[in-house]
Amino acid sequence: MERSVSSGSALSRRWSILAGVHALGCGAVTAGLLSDVLRVFTEVIGLSESFPVPLLAAPALLVGGGLWWAVVERRAAYTYPAAVAYGAFTALGTGLVWTAWFLVVWSVDLLAAGPTPLLVGLVLALTAAAGALIGPPMLFARRRYAGR
């Protein structure tokens, strides 16, 4: 009995790591496609002009892996609504990491000034909506290849 629990745990960890890598890849491709717009963002948050824009997706590796485990694997919720939640929360979590970095660089005063809260809220909402698209393909792969 312990052996099956242990192998199930290893399988869950493996899929959680894959989900983090998947989130990183999707985020890096998206950031690459939006690099003209995101280049301005990198300058605003104090990163050098030579900063590779696809690295903005780096937090998705840890956020995505952790959230896949929490939302899908731990609960054994291999459903598409859980996968959509994973994707949306992964994108939102990645956006919140960069918002926190913005606060470190510029302070709360600038975040609260003028239209900034509206802009940040809009970006986070659009990011979460786009992120919802990354979960279903990951869940499809999980369902199809879990036993192999």
How would DSSP label each residue in 1-62? -HHHHHHHHHHHHHHHHHHHHHHHHHHHHHHHHTHHHHHHHHHHTT--TTS-GGGGGTHHHH
Q: Which helix (H) or strand (E) holds 76?
A: none
Give the Cα separation of 6 and 108 in Å (integer).
46
Per-residue pLDDT of the chain (148 residues; tens, 9 = 90+): 444 555 678 899 999 999 999 999 999 999 999 999 899 888 888 888 889 999 999 999 999 999 999 999 999 999 999 999 999 999 999 999 999 998 898 888 888 888 888 988 998 999 999 999 999 999 999 999 876 5
What is the pLDDT, as a whole number, of residue 2? 41
| Residues of the domain holding 41 | 2-145
What is the pLDDT, as a whole number, of residue 147? 62
Sequence-ordered list of residues with C-beta below 8 angstroms from that of 16, at least 6 positions apart, any chain: 65, 66, 68, 69, 73
Give the Cα separation of 143 and 133 in Å (integer).
17
DSSP 8-state secondary structure symbol assigned to residue 79: S
Structural domains counted in the chain = 1
Question: How many angstroms separate the Cα of 146 from the Cα of each of 20, 142, 143?
Answer: 16, 5, 6
